[in-house]
Amino acid sequence: MAELSDDYLKYPNRGHGMDHDRYPWSQLHERPNVTWPNGARVALWVVTQLQWFPMDMKPAVPVPGAMARPYPDFWNYTLRDYGNRVGVYRIFKVLDKLGLKSSVAINSALAERHPFLIEQVNQRGWEVVANGLDMGHIIHGEMDREEEAAMIKGVLDSLRKLSGQPVRGWLSPIRSESFNTPDIAAANGIEYLCDWLNDDMPYAFETKSGTIHNLPHTMELDDQQVLVTLRHTEQEYVDQLKDQFDCLYAESAERGGRVMAINLNPWVTGQAYRIKALEEALSYISGHDGVWTATGAEILDAFKAQA
């Protein structure tokens, strides 16, 4: 086998803090307590993810939920599409019934195909978050910078035009970034990212276009991750959501406001046999005093007002 260069035993970034400049090293429990509006203890941030998986998609990196069978893969195409036709309306009905809001992270190509989805979001006064172009266009570390910049700008132009909203949040498809993504997003007016999974609270994030924030989106509580990738039962999914809430709610008594993010993929949780499980978990959480149903932008504004 090849000899290993002695450079492999050199560690140029081995010093205090992080090995990059995006954010300073900081432990959650050492930061000042955060207060939410009306003294709420937990900001419940539901994110509904609306995505289009084109049947001819050829993503540069593996995408969970992608076409997986020989072309034409009607199996996977139509099952993903189920979420945008059926599942999403089951989820919205549950949220409406419980008086909960959602940020809706949407692929711009899907919004262009079905502006009706954007109308549904706007009617409720909910937030549109940019979720890239479609699930075949994945940002990655070897992507050309100009190509990425043009794509991000195109996505934001399209979603802003269709929704009439400022579109302040960015969630990369499968949370995949290049080294340039935060800079490009910030240069296009994005105020918060959802891709980084390293905290339970918003935190400041440095870019070439100034300081933006990362909000604590979730993979651990993502329905696709839990129910499809890890194959947990619906009861285990409900237990996980309740356990997460119980811990954050208890912590908030001493350590200030917390954020609980729940990420929903309508083709997963919007299935007929799963929707009651989601309702059970959301009823449990929203049945507590001091739960603030909020969009990402509202959480960001409340956080920045006291930072």
Contact set with another protein (CB under 8 A): 1-4, 6-9, 11, 13-20, 25-29, 61, 140-142, 174-179, 195-200, 219-221, 229-232, 236, 239-241, 243-244, 246-248, 251, 260
Nearer to another protein, 75 or 179 (CB): 179
Residue showing tokens 């939410």: 36
State the minimum distance, in angstroms, from the CB of residue 262 to another protein: 11
| Half-sphere exposure in the Cβ direction for 172 (13 Å, CA) | 24
Residue 118 or 139 having the CB closest to another protein: 139
Q: In whole angstroms, how close is the CB of 4 to another protein at the nearest point? A: 5
- For residues 13 and 123, which CB has a smaller minimum distance to another protein in the complex? 13
Among residues 197 and 307, whose Cβ is nearest to another protein? 197
- At 11 the three-state DSSP class reads coil
- CA–CA distance, 36 with 40 (Å, rounded to integer): 5
Q: What is the dihedral of CA 197, 223, 293, 104, to 10 degrees?
A: 80
Strand partners, 204: 213
CB of 7 to another protein, least distance (A): 7
Count of Cβ atoms closer than 10 Å to residue 163 Cβ: 21
The CB-of-34 to another protein minimum distance in angstroms stands at 14
What span, in angstroms and rounded, lies between the C-alpha atoms of 185 and 181? 6
**Greatest Cα-to-Cα distance within the chain, rounded to the nearest angstrom:** 64
Query: Among residues 142 and 289, whose Cβ is nearest to another protein?
Result: 142
To the nearest whole angstrom, how small is the minimum distance from the Cβ of residue 44 to another protein?
13
Nearest to 285 by CA among 261, 302, 268, 269: 261
CB-nearer residue toward another protein: 187 or 228 = 228
Give the nearest distance from C-beta 151 to another protein in angstroms.
17
| DSSP, residue by residue, 122-143 | HHTTPEEEE--S-TT----TTS
